[in-house]
Structure 1
Amino acid sequence: MDASYQGGVTYEDRGESFQQLSSTIASNIKKISQNVSSMSKMVNQLQTPQDSQELRNQLRQIQNYTQKMAKDTSSMIMELMKMPVEQPAGKLTRERLSDEYMATLNAFQATQKSAAAKTKEDVRKVKAQSATINIGDPFGMSGRSNDLVEMDDKNSRRQEQMTMQTEQDLRQLEERERDIRQLESDILDVNQIFKELGTMIHDQGQVVDSIESSVEFTAHNVEAATAELRQASNYKNKLRKKKVYITIVVIVIVSIILIIIFNH
């Protein structure tokens, strides 16, 4: 896990260039992906001989850290989507980053769900063990005969050890139940991120389609107007030629008439 990340939007001026924001988002996506890979390895070690409270604390820490980074990166993605982009390369970059982020976020949520499922299973086991111990001896010390005092002393020490273990298990139980509640809350947050980004990407796509349609419609109108102008020009040229031909014919006819008149 990269400990250099302090959370929040890392660019100071929201008017910075598209390229700078894209670079920041790409860096965060890489960090989230690395954290998810580390989380996945830790989750796989749960309920194995490698399982320990230290491991679970580390898992909780990286989970909380990645959750915050995911929220911050989501805000950056939304800001990027609002930026006007004219170059095709910029549009491709924006689409690539949003796709990569959604895929990384999906992997993060899957790891969260796996950790929550294993933690819930641990809680069920601890509760079952606690119930078995509490059943114990239904009669208690007052119902035993004096002949069993020595055996009772031995049983009492064992019972005391079991009680201490139970108290420790109960503390772990409370802690893991808190982890479950936190994981479930974080999973809901990730669902909300998916929803917001999905809506924005869909709306952005409609805007782009509308712009492209307008451009295509305008281009079509320009082509049609050009064709009409070309056709009008052709008609005008034909009309001019026709007038010339008529003038020539009239001149020829008049000349012929004059010649005939003069000859008579």
Structure 2
Amino acid sequence: MSFDHSSNLESQPTNWRREDDPEFSDDPEFRRFTSDLNDKLFGLTSNVSRLSSQIALIGTRRETERVRERVRDLIDETSNGFKEIGDGLKRVSAWHDLGPAQRFTQSKLNREFQASLTEFQVLQRTAIEKERASAATARAALEDQSGSPSQGQSQYGGQQQQQQEQEQLRLASQDEVDFQESLIIERESEIRNIEQSVGELNELFRDVAHMVHEQGEQLDVIDHNVVGVLDDTRGADTELRTAHRHQKAARNKACCLLLILAVVLVVVLLAVLL
């Protein structure tokens, strides 16, 4: 199917459809449902843009726990939104008695959804890579920190006061180590959650890609039919023009014959009278 034909048909208004023809009748429920899906998809596109800007901060000096929290929230919210729209698109694909304009609306939604989901999946993988690198750096720093008390303890010995101070420092340091360790474990768990979300969206992406492929074949058939109707219309117009020319020529011939008969009749009448 040519892109020009597809674009032209998509841009055609839908108010030309006959209300008494079920194949071309307008469906208010379909229009409302697809409009709602389109609005939700637009909202997810905004989420993807914000997520991209937040992920860019991970691994830089501007990375904070708040940044990582926003990244996690945006990923969860956007992932759930894509799943919801994906279920809606599956419902649209099973809609009955769709006209050509509605099929193009359906196909357009699927293509836009597929493009947005692809961009989101790329950001998910980028977030996983950056989170892993950041967690590895934090764990390495934690291991260095946890090794420092034993080194400090070997430098002191003998006096009870010094041992008590060292014990307090060790306990305080251990509490900090445990706290940082819990944060790292939490981040690693969040990374696994993102990976699980990536797997779920991969399944959704394959389903939508399959629907796009099937609708592409349907649109090819519609485009072929449209081209066929256009060719038939042009052929009929040519035949009508030819018939019109023949009819005009026949009228001219009839007029000439009538004129000749009139002249002959006048001549005969004059001959008889004279």
Deviation per CA, 1:49-93: give whole Å up to 9, x if none.
432223322322222111111001011122222334223x32332
The unaligned stretches of length 5 or more in structure 2 are: 1-26, 233-274
The secondary structure found in structure 2 opposite 1:85 is coil
Q: 2:34 aligned with 1:17, yes or no? A: no
The residue aligned with 1:47 is 59
The residue aligned with 2:139 is 127
Deviation at 1:108, TM superposition (A): 1.2
Q: 2:41 aligned with 1:29, yes or no? A: yes
The residue aligned with 1:165 is 176
Instruction: Verify the 8 A CA contact 2:156 2:162 in the aligned structure 1.
Output: no
Q: 2:113 aligned with 1:113, yes or no? A: no
Deviation at 1:112, TM superposition (A): 1.3
The residue aligned with 1:175 is 186
For the pair shown, which has the larger CA radius of gyration, 1 or 2? 1
Amino acid at match of 1:173: I
Q: 2:94 aligned with 1:82, yes or no? A: yes
Instruction: Verify the 8 A CA contact 2:114 2:209 in the aligned structure 1.
Output: no
Q: 2:210 aligned with 1:194, yes or no? A: no
| Cα distance in 1 between the residues matched to 2:84 and 2:164 | 60
| Cα distance in 2 between the residues matched to 1:60 and 1:19 | 34
| Cα distance in 2 between the residues matched to 1:36 and 1:127 | 29
Amino acid at match of 1:75: D
Moved more, 199-208 or 137-146: 137-146
RMSD: 3.3
Amino acid at match of 1:185: Q
Identity of aligned residues (%): 19
Instruction: Verify the 8 A CA contact 1:40 1:111 in the aligned structure 2.
Output: yes
Instruction: Verify the 8 A CA contact 2:52 2:123 in the aligned structure 1.
Output: yes
| Cα distance in 2 between the residues matched to 1:117 and 1:152 | 44
Distance 1:16 1:78, change over 3 A: farther
| Cα distance in 2 between the residues matched to 1:152 and 1:126 | 30
| Cα distance in 2 between the residues matched to 1:157 and 1:81 | 67
| Cα distance in 2 between the residues matched to 1:137 and 1:28 | 54
Amino acid at match of 1:187: V
Deviation per CA, 1:99-145: give whole Å up to 9, x if none.
11111111111121121111111221122123223444668959963
Deviation per CA, 1:219-261: give whole Å up to 9, x if none.
8xx9xxxxxxxxxxxxxxxxxxxxxxxxxxxxxxxxxxxxxxx
Deviation at 1:208, TM superposition (A): 4.7
Deviation at 1:38, TM superposition (A): 1.3
The secondary structure found in structure 1 opposite 2:56 is helix
Deviation at 1:16, TM superposition (A): 5.9
Deviation per CA, 1:150-178: give whole Å up to 9, x if none.
66566555444432332221111011011
| Cα distance in 2 between the residues matched to 1:62 and 1:112 | 10
Instruction: Verify the 8 A CA contact 1:126 1:170 in the aligned structure 2.
Output: no
Q: Alignment partner for residue 108 of structure 2, among 96, 99, 108? A: 96
